[in-house]
Structure 1
Amino acid sequence: MKIAVRSLAAVAAAATLVLAGCSDPGSGQQTGAAPASWPAQDTKLDGVTLTIWAAQNSNKTPDSVIAGFEKLTGAKVNVVTIPDPYEQGIQTKVATGDKPDLAFWQPTASMLTALNATTNLQSLDGAPWVDNYTGSLKDITGILDGTRYAALVTTPAVEGVYYNKEVFAQAGVTDLPKNWDEFIALGQKLKAAGVTPFFEMGGEKWATQWWVQVQLADAAKDGLWDRVNENKEKFTDPTIQGAISNYKQLIDDGLFNSDIKTATFVDQGNALLGGKAAMVMQVNSFFGQLQALADTDELNQKIGFFPISPSGNVGTFIPDQSNALVAFKTGDDKREAATRQLLSYWLGDGYADFVKAQNTVSLLSEVTTPDTVPLALQDVAKSLDSSVGSMQALAVANPDLYLNLADMIQGTKSPTEVAEATQAQFAQLAKAQGVKAFQ
């Protein structure tokens, strides 16, 4: 699965972390306190070894940074791959006292809470790179209760529409949809012309939730997830229930691929790139698959991106673990300082080489995005300034909405049952986390 969704087991681990934090009042660590210093990037670190925990899809991401940092400082940096499910594995390890110096981590408030950030993570307040973030990135994520705990290194994922430019051109589509109604009308026009409008990967399940979440963008701007967190609005109430029911109606109307129940992530990429479908509702990891299939010139020719919401072109952002890192409190002052130094280098002198090696959009005003980055990815990054947080970004817990929607696609749950099951699990997760409104 490409985007973290917290399971009950993961929340149990999180609860253990919270209890562990409460039982250690004499640790000497000031929760939420800013680090004492941010060492110069070239401070010598001979004899210092740092460890980074990474998932299988992010364990090569730091390679260029590590090479440059080791040469500059004399430090040694080891990357340890934590098997999937990554987030659950991390929480279990930390709950037993096993900590790295750094870890890739989803920088949302709920997932920082899952690590008991105030006890286990270093504050990154005062970090020298923060004011260099472009646009709204400084404040978009990585912060819990006013303290910064995560460092963004790549563009947060955005839920939106990837489309095949050639399919659009062949169907005479010259203007992109400006709101949800236009988006669905376009799908109906393409279907009437014999084109598969939308391709869904129901066989692998995890992307099903994007269709519901983008419909909630306007409501999210209006405080939907605050109300859900306060138990004042539920998944079974008209806003979220309506989005679920709308998704089911689009499927029933035949606007998706005929093999929706079994289609995979790979099938989805092949279908869009090959022109067998016009549009896909996805996040950034989908484009990574396309990059493995085609070069930048072909992608620029064939693939475009636009955000969508009920009233306009508002994106829904969903940072994942490959976008950011957190620094742990290990009790070793020298290593903790070296960890902050590594982050300063990553988002300092090492960042230009990093974005070049990753062929990704630069997050820093002082570093230019490489010309080789596909236009669609640049459009994704541009959409962030006007985007709104997803359920994963704004809710206090993230229930298995995607699994329930996959059941709906398979015909084993109705839209009403999807909402009921999701609400019941959300309440259970929120209660386990100690959220006041659910006690």
Structure 2
Amino acid sequence: MSVPSRRRAAWLTALTAVPLLALTACSSGGSGSASTDGEVGGELRMLVNITDNLTQDKWDALVAPFEEKTGVDVKIEGPTGQSVAESFPSLLAAGTAPDVIESIFPTADTAPEILDLTDQPWVADTPMVDTYSTDGMTNVVGVGTQAQSVLYYNKDLFAAAGITETPTTWDEFDAALKALADSGVKTPIAFAGDWATGVQSQQIWHPQQNLTTPEWQAAVAAGDSSLGEQFEPLFEHITDWVDARYSTADDVATDSGTQEANFIAGTVGIYPMGSWFTTTLKNSPPEFEVGVFSPPVDESADYPGPMGATLAFPYMVWNGSKNVASATALVEYLATDPDAIALQAEMDSFSRPGMDVSTDEYASLVQGLVDEAPSLVVPGNQTVGDLALPVAGFNAKFTELVQGLWQGKTPAETADALSAWYDAEKTE
């Protein structure tokens, strides 16, 4: 991957010239402000998401060069609860928040506790920085982008079913699912349980939703639309697929890891999932040829629609840290150093301008979709910044309700329940 040499040189000079790193102070006034002037050194705590591919050892290896260059001791910590999103507010309330937080975004409750990085000169060149800003303020920076609206498919099963072109409209998509089922494919489209059901459902809907209502989150927050109106058409599509048994209740009782294994084993026609699935495919290549395509849109719309994309490896600095200068320097390193960026891409695949993905066939496929997309949009399962919905717990509630479609709930019932929950939970 390529990062301008002047930025790399400036970063290395700042690390090696003197022990005092004079970073530009953040904007004064308002919540989230704190000075980043001070010595770089001491100890930092970084709260991260630890998974099968984001292991403790990999995180330790990622920060090791920064520790060697600066003398900062970085302590990697996993969640104390089930997730970073659950753990961080609890740690804040207990007065034991970490200096750097990875994998989540500021919420209405936590944003006042997050450092404003807007005036840091290196921030402007980080991915999707404007999309994820709040009132022009940057309080989270990322390393890359992960495409969400990706449909992986088994080219052998498509060919055996007589499908010669990937579908672009909803009618064509339904026809492809029917052809797969008629040809004997066990699972024409694979949804999974737990968190995955809601995420996959939204991933399929991103392009159409953002064509019908650009910046739909703002429309809902302003009262010009409702969550029920936004998602009932999606619920109708899912119900049609469940009724036709293209997807069954057993699917949403199956964890995502098992469904990924089913796709790799060749029993699944289409698997909706984000670009991070390419890491699994690279580590366990299927015997068949994998293809990708963007979700369908209305026949009258231009295809493909906008690509839902999330910020990969998002980092925030706690403005109550006793070592803000070192915390900010660490985030700068993670977001701008070429070697650090490359290592994070190996840990969990993402895209970034200038990154060479030619040696990874699966990442290259997804990059092609990103390149073809007319725009990148914030997906529903990560409403952030100026497009944040004024509620907490949207993902969990959405997943809970959408899973009911596999249990006999109607699209209208599900849409009404989603709107009612929003009206009860929203904050002014």
Which TM class, normalised by the smaller chain length?
A: 0.7 to 0.9
- Distance in 2 (CA, whole Å) between partners of 1:45 and 1:386 is 39
Aligned residue among 261, 265, 268 for 1:274: 265
How far the C-alpha of 1:177 sits from its partner, in A, is 2.0
Task: Summarize deviations over 1:327-386 as a string: whole Å, max 9, x none.
Answer: 111253xx2111111122222334354246426345253x54472463344346546662
Alignment gaps of 5+ in structure 1? 1-27
- Distance in 2 (CA, whole Å) between partners of 1:133 and 1:156 is 14
Partner of 1:185: 175
- Distance in 2 (CA, whole Å) between partners of 1:280 and 1:74 is 45
Asked if the contact 2:152–2:270 (Cα under 8 Å) also holds between the matched residues in 1, the reply is yes
Partner of 2:156: 166
Work out whether 1:123 is the aligned partner of 2:116.
yes
* Residue 216 to residue 70, structure 1, CA distance change in 2 (3 Å): closer
Residue type at the aligned position of 2:30: T
Map 1:295-310 → 2, pairs under 5 A: 295=285, 298=286, 302-310=289-297
How far the C-alpha of 1:33 sits from its partner, in A, is 6.7
Map 1:38-437 → 2, pairs under 5 A: 45-46=40-41, 48-57=42-51, 58=54, 60=56, 62-82=59-79, 83-107=81-105, 111-115=106-110, 117=111, 119-133=112-126, 137-141=128-132, 143-196=133-186, 198-204=188-194, 206-211=196-201, 214-215=204-205, 217-221=207-211, 222-223=213-214, 224-237=216-229, 239-256=230-247, 259-292=250-283, 294-295=284-285, 298=286, 302-310=289-297, 311=301, 312-317=303-308, 319=310, 323-330=313-320, 332=322, 335-349=323-337, 350-355=339-344, 357-358=346-347, 360-365=349-354, 368-369=356-357, 371-372=359-360, 374=362, 375-379=364-368, 381-382=370-371, 386-392=375-381, 393=383, 394=387, 395-397=389-391, 398=394, 400-411=397-408, 413-430=409-426, 434-435=427-428
Asked if the contact 2:276–2:348 (Cα under 8 Å) also holds between the matched residues in 1, the reply is no
Asked if the contact 1:156–1:318 (Cα under 8 Å) also holds between the matched residues in 2, the reply is yes
Asked if the contact 1:216–1:240 (Cα under 8 Å) also holds between the matched residues in 2, the reply is no
Q: TM-score, with normalisation over the residues of structure 2?
A: 0.78
- Distance in 2 (CA, whole Å) between partners of 1:114 and 1:291 is 39
Asked if the contact 2:177–2:188 (Cα under 8 Å) also holds between the matched residues in 1, the reply is yes
Q: TM-score, with normalisation over the residues of structure 1?
A: 0.76
Map 1:4-15 → 2, pairs under 5 A: none
* Residue 360 to residue 307, structure 1, CA distance change in 2 (3 Å): same
- Distance in 1 (CA, whole Å) between partners of 2:368 and 2:107 is 28
Aligned residues between the structures: 382
Identical pairs, percent:
18
Partner of 1:19: none
How far the C-alpha of 1:273 sits from its partner, in A, is 1.4
How far the C-alpha of 1:258 sits from its partner, in A, is 7.5
Task: Summarize deviations over 1:23-81 as a string: whole Å, max 9, x none.
Answer: xxxxx973357765689xxxx844x1111011232454533431110111111101111
Asked if the contact 1:207–1:402 (Cα under 8 Å) also holds between the matched residues in 2, the reply is yes
Asked if the contact 1:303–1:376 (Cα under 8 Å) also holds between the matched residues in 2, the reply is no
Asked if the contact 1:101–1:336 (Cα under 8 Å) also holds between the matched residues in 2, the reply is yes
* Residue 102 to residue 62, structure 1, CA distance change in 2 (3 Å): same
